[in-house]
Amino acid sequence: MAKTLNLEVVTPEKQVFSDEVQSIIVPAAEGYLGVLPNHAPLISGLKPGVVKYRQEGKTQLLAISGGFMEVSSNKVTILADTAERPEHIDIERARAARERAEKRLKERPPGLDVARAEFALQRAMARLRTAGLNG
């Protein structure tokens, strides 16, 4: 029985991560989903949130803004729209994006694309949580 699985996180621009991990938790479309070695094959949509994975006994984080995940033969591939490690997150920019989205959702100006504003808020909060802040 395998003790690890390969995690690969890819965006349209680059490969963000590729290595062996012990477990993964992803923000699936219907809620967070855990993946352990020898998981059954699966394809799932992902929403903006935090990907948590355990590597060498330590929990690591990545902020993603949605995409898809495939699990097959002890390999998990995440095709994400964007993916950021904590050290690459601009905290002030993420805070400003959260504040803008919250303001727009509170004020509801005419013509507001509510889904887009909610997506922006989810993405900003995921980035802040990944950076170690409460979002």
Q: Is residue 118 part of a domain?
A: yes
Domain count along the chain: 2
Q: How many CB atoms lie within 10 A of CB 56?
A: 10
CA dist., res. 29 & res. 54, Å (int): 21
Same domain? For 56 and 122 the reply is no
Q: Is residue 106 part of a domain?
A: yes
Q: Is residue 17 part of a domain?
A: yes
CATH no. for residue 11? 2.60.15.10
Q: Residue 133: pLDDT above 80?
A: no
Same domain? For 100 and 49 the reply is no
Mean pLDDT score across all residues of the chain: 91
Q: Is residue 33 part of a domain?
A: yes
Mean per-residue pLDDT, 27-39: 93
The tens digit of pLDDT for each residue in 37-96 reads: 999 999 999 999 999 999 988 999 999 999 999 999 999 999 999 999 999 898 999 999
Length of the chain (residues): 135
Q: Is residue 13 part of a domain?
A: yes
Mean per-residue pLDDT, 100-105: 90
Range of the domain at 105: 90-130
CA dist., res. 16 & res. 7, Å (int): 10
Same domain? For 69 and 109 the reply is no
Q: Is residue 80 part of a domain?
A: yes
pLDDT at 57: 87
- How many Cα atoms are found within 13 Å in the side-chain-facing hemisphere of 5? 24
Q: Residue 2: pLDDT above 80?
A: no
The continuous run of DSSP H or E covering 26 comes out as strand 23-28
pLDDT at 134: 63
- Band (29; pLDDT cuts 50, 70, 90): confident
Same domain? For 45 and 62 the reply is yes
Same domain? For 10 and 74 the reply is yes
pLDDT at 40: 94
Same domain? For 55 and 100 the reply is no
Q: Is residue 135 part of a domain?
A: no
Percent of the chain with pLDDT over 90: 68
Q: Residue 135: pLDDT above 60?
A: no
